[in-house]
Chains A and B, each alone.
Chain A
Amino acid sequence: MGTFARFVVYMFIAICVIVMAIILGAYGSWYFAWLIGTVMMVLIAAAGAAMLDTQEEERRRSGGS
């Protein structure tokens, strides 16, 4: 994906998030917090798996079993 296309996609996501925060903020923010929190949990879990692959690679490079 080109730089411009990425820019457009990310900008769209950012605007959606900001608009939702404004709308939900007037009533309470728990739905919004769920949305952000869930994305964060999924990404951190995924990053943890990628990190394990890296750790495995390091271990094998250093001659561990």
Chain B
Amino acid sequence: MIDNTVVELSRWQFAATALYHFLFVPLTLGLSFLLAAMETVYVTTGRDIYRRMAQFWGKLFLINFALGVATGLTMEFQFGTNWSFYSSFVGDTFGAPLAIEGLMAFFMESTFVGLMVFGWERMSKAQHLIVTYLVALGSNLSAVWILVANGFMQDPQGARFNPLTMRMELTNFSDLIFNADAQSKFVHTSIAGYVTAAMFVGGISAFYMLKNRHMEIARRSFRMAALFGVLATAGVITLGDALGFIGGQAQPTKLAAMEALWKTEPAPVAFNVVAAPSQSERANLWQIQVPAGLSLLVTHSLDGTVPGADDLEKQAAERIRNGIPAVVALKRLAQDPSDAQAMAQFTAHEKDLGYGFLVQRYAPDQDASKSTPDAILQAARGTIPQVAPIFWSFRIMVGLGLLMLGYFILAVIYTLRNQVEHQRGFLRLALWSIPVPFIACEMGWLVAEIGRQPWTVYQVLPTWMSASTHSVAYMVFSLTGFVVLYSIFIAIEMYLMVRAVRAGPDADGPDAAGPQGEVAAVRAAPAPAGRLASRWEG
């Protein structure tokens, strides 16, 4: 018998570790490319200030990278320890991208990070630049493979269940990689990392400008972050739309939850800007709507309609009834793989096998063949994930995304006029906005993963069946351990970051002393900047 408490604790443990890990990942994805941009300017212009910029931001990147790797390691092991049925069921398919991700992250990325950090004096400028680009590429390629694996969970493509081996087997690797969900989600996630890095660099640069410290580096860093950020934010929004469009077709239950759409309405469907969804009443207690908004957003047409929870539940009930014979046949095949009648029954109902699994949770003795109409109704209702957290997480993410777009447009205007250091209010806003993209990223992850429930692999394998058979005490102990350990990691990250930022770029360098020191630094720089500084001083 499967213990619901163990399943819930396993979910909490994975969610907690993933949320912690995802605090580090976006910054790594984006900062690596910003470092590459800074170093590109250094190599092409020869101005030493860009080398110092790259080294300073590289130090912060390294702190974040180290803790990101530490928190990510345990997640891969959790698939085996806490989700053993899931691992055996989809391991043939899911394992390949996860293994390649391990190679990317721990071989390519980590090797080149070492070269990037320790290679400044050991390699030529061009060689070091190539290494920095490879770090950026490695970071993002490891994200590709994780999101290919995640894309399979959201919209399983390229694999088929084999009733004789009792597991999903890979049928088409290219379908797995080029899954539309994986593609759009990777780009959305990666570019969200660029936005995070741009907010981070912009915020810390603003801090220096407010303190009138390291002005030359701060102004250049802010300029680069603003331009990088505005393009990235536009990209994130574009990809968010693409992901909604693709996800809406692949996962209609998630879409219904994101939009708090309880009943199917005729086109054009209104968009709920804000609402108070009630899961028990299967309705919104109140809502503020934009007429026709949802049809336009999701179907890109005024004639398009979106299925509501009521219709989706009816479809699920039908599929559950059709899936029960598949589960019954599967049990017979487990005892006798040569049972032709059972194989024929399985083949006839195969496409709804996952729904047959789903009803076992509510059936007497967790036996699908004993399913009652009430169990089918409960299972069908359970196919609609928790609406309120998804609805609000989605709106917070979108709202913050739009705010960041406005912020970056303003940042670009100020920095292109070369007067951002005089905008004290805006600089304070930039500093205090550093957490905003991190919150938006966490919200996006919640939408994606809570929205996938009640499945680990959408319409194939229920979450309820996927967990290992640990004891409750074991799960409570390990969950507590993870939360305590990861909270310590976060505290260490914050401490190291704040210390490095306070010390500033080149703590012993020439611009540490303020504007006079900066002039000396520019004079000490290669020809063009040095000549300019001489003229400036008259």
Inter-chain contacts of A45 with B (CB < 8 A): 34, 37, 224-225, 227-228
Residues A34 and B231 in contact, CB atoms below 8 Å apart: no
Residues A44 and B228 in contact, CB atoms below 8 Å apart: yes
Residues A41 and B228 in contact, CB atoms below 8 Å apart: yes
Verify if A12 is at the interface (C-beta below 8 Å from B).
no
Inter-chain contacts of A38 with B (CB < 8 A): 33, 140, 190, 194
Residues A46 and B41 in contact, CB atoms below 8 Å apart: yes
Inter-chain contacts of B532 with A (CB < 8 A): 56-57, 60
Q: Contacts A24-B178, A50-B45, A53-B529: A30 and B184 contacting too (C-beta < 8 A)? A: yes
Q: Contacts A37-B235, A60-B535, A60-B536: A52 and B220 contacting too (C-beta < 8 A)? A: yes
Cross-chain contact of B231 among A44, A46, A51 (Cβ < 8 A)? A44
Cross-chain contact of B223 among A33, A34, A49 (Cβ < 8 A)? A49
Inter-chain contacts of B242 with A (CB < 8 A): 30
The 5 closest A-B pairs by CB, nearest first: A27-B178, A30-B183, A45-B228, A48-B227, A45-B37
Interface string of B212-245 (1 = CB under 8 A from A): 0000000110011111100110010001001000
Verify if B187 is at the interface (C-beta below 8 Å from A).
yes
Residues B187 and A33 in contact, CB atoms below 8 Å apart: yes
Inter-chain contacts of B33 with A (CB < 8 A): 38, 41-42
Residues A41 and B194 in contact, CB atoms below 8 Å apart: yes
Inter-chain contacts of B226 with A (CB < 8 A): 48
> 26 A-B Cβ contacts within 8 A?
A28-B180, A31-B187, A34-B187, A34-B191, A37-B231, A38-B190, A40-B231, A42-B228, A43-B37, A44-B227, A44-B231, A45-B225, A45-B227, A45-B228, A46-B44, A47-B227, A48-B416, A49-B50, A50-B45, A51-B223, A52-B219, A53-B529, A56-B418, A57-B528, A59-B418, A60-B535
Verify if A6 is at the interface (C-beta below 8 Å from B).
no
Verify if B36 is at the interface (C-beta below 8 Å from A).
yes
Residues B231 and A49 in contact, CB atoms below 8 Å apart: no
Output the nearest chain B residue to A38 by Cβ-Cβ distance: B33
A38–B532 Cα distance when bound, in Å, is: 33
Interface of A is mostly: helix
Interface of B is mostly: helix
How many residues of chain B have a CB within 8 Å of chain A? Answer: 44
Cross-chain contact of B37 among A46, A56, A57, A65 (Cβ < 8 A)? A46
Verify if B280 is at the interface (C-beta below 8 Å from A).
no
How far apart are B235's CB and chain A's nearest CB, in angstroms?
A: 6
Inter-chain contacts of A24 with B (CB < 8 A): 178
Verify if B40 is at the interface (C-beta below 8 Å from A).
yes
Inter-chain contacts of A57 with B (CB < 8 A): 528, 532
Output the nearest chain A residue to B531 by Cβ-Cβ distance: A57
Residues B183 and A46 in contact, CB atoms below 8 Å apart: no
Output the nearest chain A residue to B194 by Cβ-Cβ distance: A41
How far apart are A38's CB and chain B's nearest CB, in angstroms?
A: 6
A55–B174 Cα distance when bound, in Å, is: 49
A45–B231 Cα distance when bound, in Å, is: 9
A31–B179 Cα distance when bound, in Å, is: 11
Verify if B186 is at the interface (C-beta below 8 Å from A).
yes
Most buried by A among B38, B184, B224: B224
A48–B232 Cα distance when bound, in Å, is: 15
Verify if B51 is at the interface (C-beta below 8 Å from A).
no
A45–B194 Cα distance when bound, in Å, is: 12
Output the nearest chain A residue to B412 by Cβ-Cβ distance: A48
